[in-house]
Amino acid sequence: MQTVLLPLLIPLVFIVLTLFAWNAPRLQRMLSLFGSSALLLAALSLLAQVQTGEIAVTQIGNWPAPYGITLVADLFSAIMLTITGVVAVLVAIYSLEGIDENRVAHGFYPLFFALLMGVCGAFLTGDIFNLYVWFEVMLMASFVLMALGGERAQLEGAIKYVILNLTSSALFLSATGILYSVAGTLNMADLSIRLPEVNSPGLVTTIAMLYLVAFGIKAAIFPLFFWLPASYHTPPVAVTALFSGLLTKVGVYSLVRVFTLLFLTDVAFTHTVLLVLGGFTMVVGVLGAAAQYDMRRLLSFHIVSQIGYLLMGLGLYSRAGLASTIFFMAHVIAAKAALFLVAGIIRRVSGSFDLRRVGGLYRDQPWLAILFLIPALSLAGLPPLSGFFGKLALVRAGLAQGQYAIVAVSLAVSLLTLFSMTKIWMEAFWKPIPEKAPSQNREAGYKFSLVFPALAMGLISVVLGVLAQPVYGLADQAAGVLMQPALYAAAVLGGLR
């Protein structure tokens, strides 16, 4: 019954081990492979356990809920943990080559595991204040990871990132304070029972909006996204891939959690706001991407755009909508991480991230082109890749709810995404090599540890497309659990009520 704990304990153990191995970078790199693989295995075993419909619960310190801190893993949490494990393993492999000695010497790996611990903690906790604490763990690690290396651009990006995220944390904490004064509890299961009984529904909606802003900054939704494209392109690609795969998704996870478990008193208002914001996020993100020439900035804007799709499923607030969001989450994390990793390889081969300064890669490096094309087409939503099925599910869920406007927006944004991916294709792969291009270095990019993670992420996208039926089935089952908050409350509070 204690498998719930493993995704938290494994990163902690490996923080300690990598700290002890501070002066042995090679050992740290080996440890990172072991640690992330162990995390993936733990997540998979948890997934197998909760897939039967059970909600795994442990009361930390044996203090009964709602007084102590509860760790809860329902199917949604377990799916998120599994994705985290996959991203962790592949980024650990990519880092073997992608993270330089200097960054390892200054503690890259302990921070890597601290970040993973924060992310896993956020996915597992059943206490909203504890969620805040895990956010802080995650953010502290991410602040340092973003600034590690001390390049000028990195520090500039890190300052924007830190300030915006601290603002979000302050709002999160204030909202939690007000919530406690209103409901008298912070245990999410307990809150889900007590909030509907609070006799000032206006106040509850206000708190819900405060949480929306706090998590919205973390998830980079419109109009709070501007820190993301301003900072994500500055650290090394391995770090950006890790951030894009996990950090914003923790924000989305929290939104899904609070808007399916806690704030259901005024669904007509709150979830419509989510839906509208989702639409704007898609459009603004993809339009922002159109103006960019730095590959990493361009892809950063696409992170924002894809967050809109995740919000759309939540805003629809139906079982099909949530199932689509969960499926889309798996898809977008794989596709996005793959694109960032490929961008890193392009940079090594061609010497630049700037699309105006690279070209002709298709003629010289056809394999690299294919490596890029799979996740790019998947992101744009072409069959038979995962993006197509994710969008199909979202569109169907939208039509079933009669939300034609958001469906139209999502389809239009899909087309613009395809345009944006075509732009990278035309510039980097198709056009002749520009005259002032930096010299190409074929060898630098083709290392197993760089190509394998990018290829694996791309293949995951293909597999999610081919196996769309069973994966969607799993997502649908998770959505079924999310739509019944009473199940969650009963699992956590046990025989108390």
- What is the contact surface with another protein in residues (CB under 8 A)? 2, 5, 9, 12-13, 15-16, 19-20, 22, 58-62
- DSSP state string for 11-25: HHHHHHHHHHTTT-H
CA-CA distance, 95 to 397, in Å (whole number)? Answer: 39
Q: How far apart are CA 12 and CA 248, in angstroms?
A: 22
- Least distance from another protein to the Cβ atom of residue 489, Å: 19
Minimum separation from the CB atom of position 483 to another protein (A) = 29
Cβ closest to another protein, residue 68 vs residue 480? 68
State the sign of the Cα–Cα–Cα–Cα dihedral 194, 198, 202, 207: negative
CB neighbour list of residue 339: distance below 8 Å, 6 or more residues apart: 299, 302, 372, 375, 376, 379
CB of 71 to another protein, least distance (A): 8
Nearer of residues 56 and 455 to another protein, judged by Cβ: 56
CB of 16 to another protein, least distance (A): 5
Residue closer to another protein, measured from CB, 5 or 444: 5
If the CB atoms of residues 60 and 467 are measured against another protein, the closer one turns out to be: 60
Place of tokens 């950063």: 300
Q: Which residues are bridge partners to 127 per DSSP?
A: 187
Residue 12 or residue 178: which is nearer to another protein going by CB? 12
Amino acid at 323: A
Cβ 125 to another protein, closest distance in Å?
13
Smallest distance from another protein to CB 247, Å:
23
Spatial distance between the Cα atoms of 260 and 143, rounded to a whole number of angstroms: 30
Q: Which residue bears the tokens 């010289």?
A: 364
Residue 393 and residue 415: Cα distance in Å, rounded?
17
Q: Hunting for tokens 């970078």 — which residue is that?
A: 25
Residue type, 322: L
Q: Which is nearer to another protein, 140 or 433 (CB)?
A: 140
CB of 19 to another protein, least distance (A): 4
- Residue linked to tokens 């389809």: 411
